[in-house]
Each structure stands twice: as C-alpha cells, then as structure tokens.
Amino acid sequence: EVKDSSFASEIFAGSLVYGLTMNYDLEKCLTLANIALGLSIQKYGSRASIPDLNSVLTYYTEKFATNNNPSNN
C-alpha cells in the first residue's frame, strides 16, 4: 500500500548508485533500487521511509535469488 512517495526517486537513485559501487550487474542494481523504492513508499516521512540495507537484501534473496544474494557477487 502506498502511503508516501516523497523522496522515492532519491531512494531509488541512492540504491542504484550503491549497487553500482558494489560492482553488481545492472540488472541486480535496478532490482535492488526498485525494491528499496517499493519498501520506502510503504512508510510516511522522508527519513523514516529509507529502508535499511538488510531489509532490501533480504527481500531480494527471498523473492529473486534464493542462491544468488547480491552481496555474494
């Protein structure tokens, strides 16, 4: 459920840059950025809506890559 989309684009961009600096392939970078964006719009407020890295990686692992966690890349 969308509660607040404030700063969603900034969260997406920051997550994308994080993935790129970690040398993940572009598909993983975009997937992680989309996950972070999706998690962020479920909360109110700009700071409170920033998901922590563990939440994003856990969601990724559970939904997309059970044996291919991007932190193992």
- For 6-43, write each residue's pLDDT tens digit: 788 899 999 999 999 999 999 999 999 999 999 998 87
The pTM for the full model equals 0.80
The rounded distance, in Å, linking the Cα atoms of 44 and 68 is 31
Residue 13: name the closest of 28, 43, 34, 41 by CA.
34
35 and 60 Cβ atoms separated by less than 8 Å: yes
Is 55 in contact with 40 (CB distance < 8 Å)?
no
User: What does the pLDDT average to over 35-64?
Assistant: 88
* Cα 34 from chain centre: 6
